[in-house]
Chains A and B, each alone.
Chain A
């Protein structure tokens, strides 16, 4: 027998150890995946805290219809919901963003993104609604569960409200979808409205009435939408009941006196409603029912870009000595005109031009004065010319910017940091007016409108003058850029008519079928197992 040398002995020992090590390390569970840096629905929706986190995403989905950095909509598209292409205004380049109806078709990106953003919101709501019923969830109480579900159902209704008025009947999705689904079919408009009412009734019954700062959903928010939807389904009494539930709540009242941060500056009550920091109910604002939230320099605090969209492109104005006439500053920021308001919104809609507070010099900038000290013409008023009127100089509704409060001088992307009203009390009176009108009660309808006109120091409207058009005019005077104008007009059946009447650009291209937007072609293409029928007139 050959003697093994010491080297070999050492090495053999090492190799045996190695061999043992590698055979032992074979593990059955080696291939099991355990995510370590992201949550799954299963380990999230187990108690109220997880569901609350789900709700936070829904608030952000909601704010996504007005503020940048959200799931899908791009900046210029917000105005489609708030008035682009209807009686309010058009996009300066006409064709995009639904301002020229002749080029609107099912390939339109804006049409697609509204669809997607609504359905993403429905997805986020459905996850909560479905999983809340899971037996394993550790609810403290039925109330706790219902309040969370109520918020999710409000948001679902909110999304369906946009869908149904934009596109007509759309697929109703009642539950979380966990496997690819390719056979969506459209439900009828009536079914969708009924579905919205179902959700909102639940929300109204289960949301808390308490509304400390207007940042979160409360019963009043649900009642507001409920009132609107009852009107749409011609349930006038139910609408009035819902509206009165808000007005009867002592938390809510119109702001008729000066308040808030800037109340010592010259101004008026309406102006105070839109100053930076004055939306929060803690500022004394009793009019706010719900506002999308913004906060300067806080992660997740992105605000609306309304200043950039609604204001004239002032930076193009020049002094006679060839200098910049209006400096970009903390007062007006940097508007660039994504929406050019119609002449009707400029002046035509004001039936009491001189007295209406909402048309005061604080609330509407109609004259622009050269504020560049370097110019010899400093302090001169800039003349309106055909050259500057279209885009560079037209009335600027100052609610769209937080005047005098742009933090770093101005933001070139037009970012704002004020909260943006979803619902405020003024709108409740207008809904009531509509409901009374639905019941042919012009007297009461006029009374509701006159509450607002009284606050605005405007002349009272005579009951005989109140018709749906007058209400729509008044809504514009009161809620310009706050109400979802396209929805209001579609709901009242006035979209095409009023667009033709007031919008010199979009009005020449709109046809009756444009009342509805097309169903996005990519959705039709991807839905391979059933047909999503296209709206008439589009192909």
Chain B
């Protein structure tokens, strides 16, 4: 290998040497530069000693001998130097310099040693190099508080030659001449351009640019300076929230973007919900499109370690999102992972350990309440209920425990503080040609019930290399392994406090299978005995090549090819103790998803005459997605030893498999023109094709246009000194939604099994399980957006305000139809929904000094959606389009209404008029139409489950080495019956499993009895004759995240070769102000589900 390389370089050298002198010199200079660059260490030549003894040999032979004896190699042109001269050479353990001095003493040959490589040349050559030798400029870069800035990009304007500042802010760069102009840029800071002139030392102070106008933002199939944007794109950098115990990148976005709602997961490994600008579609997918490192990503965001993410750009308005046409109706998130910044490799290690505890728990009935419950129940159904005979009403176990005075608090038994650990190690760096970022992470999160655990390992390698000036290849790849194994401990809400934990008391140590005797309520810990394996592996990679097309300056062709393979292996074995009747039951299920995407992107960017900036993009794209599933099941195992790995031991096997694939194609063109940094227009056309739609409806076109006017750059505004930025944006665009999945237009058949006759085997039958729809096509949203970006008083206050109006047509609806037809729903394109809203994002830095900085950011958004039209039917002839009660869709009302019977307290014993079917203790249904009867006509719209408005406030304080981050988050209903949730489980003891109250316990509530005339919770065995919700306001204000961090003094750390060490402590979900009586108002969770958790985390972040 080495010899080959040598040979090749020698040839190149010779080839260059045949050129006329000047070119040759330049080329050689270039060669030298690169070669020297590649071997930037001198230690070899300084440590290698040679012993030689040669008489009257040619220089050429001498050189070959040295090459053979050592790792040195020589570069020279035989046309320029005479290597046939004969020399004598005697050396004993001498360094190469001494050997060469001796060898070349009699010749006019000069040499240059760089590590293993030695160039032979002439004095004349060296002189001509030296005349070409660039100027070296050095200096220090600091920010406006005087702190050194490492990692600043220094570029010679008009070239790709550059350098980067080191950790002390020092830099050095060679410039070709005094005419050169240096461009200093650093993310988050204003760009500074300085002409070199006769200076050799240039110190620079970069101004913090709060608005980030110079920032380069991902816009989909390309990037653009923020100042040139015409659409509504918000960038979120994860650096701010890096100290929060987030495992999912979405959590890091919470509260930072107006109009973006991120939910709160309540179980380990769960992905939070995500929605941009309310709901557009009714039943098709509402999840925004995720684009990871420039390519559409269909995997789970749970696969991405938060530490790997550099930034997330949120495309909210249609014009910005229109480049993703059919996929963009719900907005687009562009996630960019990290890359190398400095030449010196940076290692970063982040570790955190946290502990979660449940908050807002609702207690179960205590032992006394439980006994009372039994009496109350018996009384309610007319059975003897004499406290003296309580033992007769209990099971034997309960009765014995009551006698012995033994009780159990099941919540105590199963709820445990849950730990979460997170480790992330990365190394990144770059050279002139290469950029790399390599990271690995490990996360282990426990659930607050045992075995509800989640473990994740991720690895990411981002690598790019410039092969030539005009050709760059890059590979971004990731691996993730998520482990959801283990069947969580079961719910205990129903278990009696007089249960047995162990068989015959604590001594046995063997779990009592049915703690309260009832065979339908197993010991919650029995589920731990189920051997459950559920591991999901995700492999993802994008290979891209970027070519600067020759002869056309500014034209670039990018080819991206991405692969994503997702495999889920779910295995389970339930032994014959738990699966008794089946005598053991096991399965192996394998889910395999495979996607690929191929994007051809042509991009042209050029600035003409310094004022006309043109940016054109053209895309040809194809996507393919495939899933396949295989499941094997068996029951009746004569041996319980091998479990799911030997299904053939099960006497009763069954298998199933499934497969599907889909194709998408897209063509997209986008033109962006900016005049003099004042006016910018963008136009986009995209044509999409999707295999999932019906024949003839597979293709659709989407158009958008946008205009932006930066008023503050106009001459007439220049006089207003307090105004830093004023920019007006207006856009209109169309987006599509195709999120219905494959094969939805076709009638599908499903299978069903039967047996015929004793001893008969399985017979498989088929039936039509869904109706065909031969007209299914795209759902389209048309969105108008008016936005204003501003910055005033030296950016003391800056932000943006957007208002939008969106109409979604031909909604993809999963529409209920009468089951009389044999089908209960069908996918259709129907109707029109309007969304309008306002989004405000304000930022300020009220205090900024060397020691103390305070940043505050506020986002607010309000969205109103309403159904404009459904089917256009007016059967009742009232001139107004009919509502669709069956689907709960009402003209003029939002999607997400609570419709039904209203309740108005509880019927009391002395109530005079109790309707038929109701007794005291039942909820009183409101006779809405006042006709004296309860009929279907008494149902009406009770409220909405969508918010009225939401806001968050982020405060960021920095004092010397301390920093404090506080985020407050709120969603409000605002008293207009918005943001209501059904909390029936806290108000009816007989829920969620009707009639179980007789045998089982339930969470404490003030339920009605003849002697306890409650008005909030019904009688103990209330089984609502007419279904109705118990609506509660879900409005809340939450102290979402608080982090305190301390950075150790860098000077101290530098002594031990550490660049930075930050320690932090953080709290999540610290306190929620709400009237909701269930668990989490945000998720509308209530008892019988998982409680909300509060998490405290300690962590450290080490750079070295």
Contacts and interface: CB of A to CB of B under 8 A. Distances in A.
Interface of A: 7-8, 11, 15, 18, 22, 25, 30-33, 35-41, 44, 50, 53-61, 63, 93-96, 100, 102-108, 112, 115-116, 119-120, 122-124, 126-127, 171, 173, 176-182, 184, 212-213, 215-216, 277, 280, 282-283, 293-295, 297-301, 315-316, 318, 322-324, 328, 334, 386-387, 390, 407-409, 411-413, 415, 419, 521-530, 532, 539
Given A103-B917, A334-B519, A127 B768 contact: yes
Nearest to A184: B820
A60 B884 contact: no
Contact of B384 (A36, A112, A212, A386): A386
B886 A36 contact: no
Interface in B929-953: 933-936
A422 to B, nearest CB: 14
Interface stretch (B161-169, B420-428, B758-766): B758-766
Contacts of B658: 37
B819 interface: yes
User: Among the interface residues A116, A179, A294, which one has the most CB atoms of the partner chain B within 10 A?
Assistant: A179
Contact of B1025 (A107, A178, A387): A107
Given A39-B749, A60-B765, A526-B817, A31 B689 contact: yes
Given A11-B471, A96-B1023, A524-B936, A38 B598 contact: no
Nearest to B468: A7
Contact of A297 (B651, B760, B882, B1025): B651
Contacts of B1026: 105, 107
B817 A182 contact: yes
Shortest 3 CB-CB contacts between residues of A and residues of B: A300-B753, A123-B822, A56-B765
Given A33-B662, A178-B747, 7 more contacts: A18-B559, A40-B748, A105-B1026, A116-B824, A293-B760, A324-B517, A411-B581
B654 interface: yes
Contact of A31 (B396, B651, B690, B936): B690
B757 A280 contact: yes
A54 B765 contact: yes
Interface stretch (B738-746, B834-842, B1093-1101): B738-746
B496 to A, nearest CB: 14
User: Among the interface residues B652, B743, B755, B757, which one has the most CB atoms of the partner chain A within 10 A?
Assistant: B755
A528 B875 contact: yes
B818 A526 contact: yes
A300 B657 CA distance: 17
A293 B756 contact: yes
Contact of B758 (A94, A213, A318): A213
B660 A60 contact: no
20 contacts: A15-B547, A30-B663, A30-B689, A31-B689, A33-B692, A36-B660, A40-B747, A57-B754, A93-B994, A96-B995, A104-B1025, A116-B819, A173-B822, A178-B771, A180-B826, A212-B757, A295-B755, A295-B759, A301-B762, A315-B517
B758 A295 contact: yes
A178 B771 CA distance: 6
Contact of A44 (B395, B749, B886, B1023): B749
Contacts of A11: 467-468, 471
A524 B820 CA distance: 10
B817 A181 contact: yes
Contacts of B396: 318, 322-324
B756 A526 contact: no
A527 B817 CA distance: 7
Interface in B110-168: none
A119 B821 contact: yes
Contacts of B608: none
Given A53-B766, A171-B820, A103 B757 contact: no
Given A22-B600, A387-B384, A41 B768 contact: yes
A59 B520 contact: no
Interface string B378-420: 0001011000000110011001100000000000000000000
Nearest to A406: B581
Given A96-B994, A522-B886, A297 B635 contact: yes
Given A11-B468, A33-B691, A60 B752 contact: yes
Interface string B507-521: 000000000010110
B581 A277 contact: no
B555 to A, nearest CB: 14
Contact of B767 (A127, A282, A283): A127
B550 to A, nearest CB: 9
A387 B821 contact: no
Interface in B620-666: 620, 622, 635-636, 651-652, 654, 657-663, 665
A53 B746 CA distance: 20
B828 A387 contact: no
Nearest to A530: B875
Given A293-B754, A528-B873, A181 B821 contact: yes
A182 to B, nearest CB: 6
Interface string B877-889: 0000010111100
A105 B762 contact: no
Nearest to B742: A33
B764 A105 contact: no
A104 B1023 CA distance: 11
B760 A215 contact: yes
A187 B556 CA distance: 70
B820 A103 contact: no
B1023 A173 contact: no
Contacts of A119: 819-822
B750 interface: yes
A377 B755 CA distance: 45
A105 B659 CA distance: 44
Contacts of A316: 395
A112 B288 CA distance: 37
A53 B1025 CA distance: 40
A57 B580 contact: no
Contact of A528 (B763, B886, B1027): B886
User: Among the interface residues A8, A41, A300, which one has the most CB atoms of the partner chain B within 10 A?
Assistant: A300
A93 B381 contact: yes
B750 A180 contact: no
A488 B802 CA distance: 68
B574 to A, nearest CB: 14
A83 to B, nearest CB: 19
A415 B580 CA distance: 12
Interface in B34-68: none
Nearest to A277: B758
B816 interface: yes
Contacts of A15: 547
A102 B519 contact: no
Given A180-B771, A523-B819, A527-B820, A407 B755 contact: no
A387 B665 CA distance: 72
B815 interface: yes
Nearest to A282: B758
Contacts of B762: 298-301
A440 B665 CA distance: 77
A223 B468 CA distance: 88
B586 to A, nearest CB: 14
Given A120-B819, A124-B767, A334-B519, A57 B691 contact: no
